[in-house]
Structure 1
Amino acid sequence: MADQLSPLMKQINQGNWLPQREAESLRDQLYYQNAVQAYILTIPILNVIGLRDGSAAQFGSGYNVLPIWKDRMDSRAWVPTPNADVIYSMSYLDLKQDGPLVVAAPPNVMGMFTDFYQRTITDVGATGPDAANGGLYLLLPPGYDQEVPRGYFSFRSPTNNVLLFFRTMMPRGSDGPDPAPAVETAEQTRVYPLWTAEKDVKPMEFPNGSGIRINMMYPVDNSYWTKLKAFVDYEPVDAIDAITRGLLAAIGIVKDAPFQPNDAQNAALQKAVAMAPRMVLAARQLGRPDKRDLYYPDRQYQNTWACATAEWMQDGYLDVIQRAAYFQAAYASSPAMVMRTIDGGSKYPFTTRDATGEFLDGSS
């Protein structure tokens, strides 16, 4: 009889059902593996949700609230890899709550709008449509089907939530870089609803984020999943691709359906939140077999996009591991950050090793 079984039937269990305990164990293992993959695929979402929620807790929220790190960022801001070379302005817009929003961008901004999967909506500044002259950007919510007025740089967001991320450059002062002119430029930003009368527009607020201990990191416990569930419920179905939605459904996260993991599933979800980041860190530590991330074959400088596009597309595939590695340690990606444009784009070479390949030690 065994000789009449196909190779697949022999491989599975000689054509028999599995013992009950083994079947349950494998089911639980698959649940855990799905959770790990779901984490890797959704870290860009939780990365920016962490930014938004930390900002709201410290500064409040609303289209008119634009925190600016007026004395530059430092280590008191718990945020994925801030940059102290420019002045940061970051806000979180809700097109479902406020409808289409107009953003008056100042001149000479180096910035972007991204959706909450951190996919670029548009660059702003030298490589954006305003060409560093500033201008009016109109952000439209998903499914917007009304007339789009003229006179704006108009863009439709795939998600209701939008990240506004502006950077302004500091000129040289008598004692080093002078943040004051860069802050003055950033404070020219205006955000207001398209159809709201001017008298009803909220005045802009520019709280100073510098010198404050603020936690804007993504969760390290099971609130990762509850925040992800809230995002899934709030956004259009197609804000997330079908394969990722399938993985989320496999762990119980389905739009507008209850998310009620049992004790064993909660334990698996917590294990995934703990282990998936370690797996991503291992990928970062060991490097890519194809060496696409190295600027030079005989040096340690790395390209964090590993020659991918701003949307993490390599030659014919979406580089999900490189994307997860980036959003574990950084945030925001746009074409201006990867393109080769003299006097327009930017480059982010980095290294964690010395010339011999040994890891750098911050304590020394």
Structure 2
Amino acid sequence: MSSMGRPWSPLSVRLAFWEGLDAGLAVAAAARAAGVSRPTAYRWLSDHQKVLPSPLPDFTVPRAGLLSLREREEIGFQLAQGHGVRHIAATLGRSPSTISREVARNRVSDRYSPSLAQEQTWARARRPKPRKLDRLALREQVTTMLTDRFSPEQVAGRLKVEHPENPEMQVSHETIYQALYVQGRGSLRLEVAAALRSGRVRRRPQRPEGPRPQRFQEMVMISDRPAEVEDRAVPGHWEGDLIIGSTASKSAIGTLVERTTGYVMLLHLPEDHTARTVADAMITAMNSLPEQLRRSTTWDQGAEMSRHQEITMATGMPIYFCDPHSPWQRGSNENTNGLLREYFPKSTDLSFHGPGILENVAAELNRRPRKRHGYRTPAEVLAELVSNPVN
């Protein structure tokens, strides 16, 4: 008796049943020919459908659309005779691309073995396939990076940088999203609440959002900005803005993003965000940089920039202003402000965050790998530019 209390059937009986099905018999007829009951036959058939291939696969019977063992034997024979792919395809009535893929996929050491090709095909067809993130070492590294607030795309790119010769330690960002969202009870389900910076547990399309800038006089518009700023080829051009705290606190944080590297600097504005306060913070921050990193700043038409000429005189950096209702003209800064809102939520008192906290947040953003830098970090790229200045 089997462990489940069912009578054990000899291998020959099972083979007889499967051979009957392969010959085109109905399940009941194949059961009678093999000498087993219909319930037993249907149980075997159910078990066979749960796992591919069956426990006793007949490699001479092709699955739909796949080459049979006989066809593979013919391919092997024709290759041994020195015939090409098109000749073999014409002989078998198959597409040349089918034969070409078959030979390329299953060739081992420049030799095509029909039996090995058949076994490999069935092995690739087995379902369910193991998930890549079920591998403990890979999963732990992905989870660590997600905990460090890397996006799934940044995780995937950084893994390629850190493990260039080890495909087993690489994974696509879509696989990570699938584990978080689609495979809701899958390998990363326990980490989903803290895994993504957005905090969402469902995917949603991106929709552009932006501030409502104000106008004032004596501005140099973005249309007059040099071409070198637009193509990001020369470092030292920045984009700036404010993230505003609660109305009662009147607090804000100034944000500056270098266009070439994505490097972030944060301005501490605990009391207010008047033009005087912002100008003083801007002058202090910009003058802490090397001269080659002080080329220009692009800002929206907010009233906090009414002392822009004073900032330019003190730092040597011209300030260019965006068109009204055009946040995409400061795309790098807008994206960074969205990331910063995870640390500094809207309608909260931002004066609580001192200079040390701002430095730590900026450092964390500057340690995140970026796709456009080949998954190097902004800090790494900036350090390289400083050591190799562009004139």
* Max Rg structure: 2
TM-score bucket of the superposed structures, by smaller chain: under 0.3
Instruction: Report the structure, 1 or 2, having the larger strand content.
Output: 1
TM-score by length of 2: 0.23
Higher relative contact order (CA 8 A, sep 6+): 1
TM-score by length of 1: 0.24
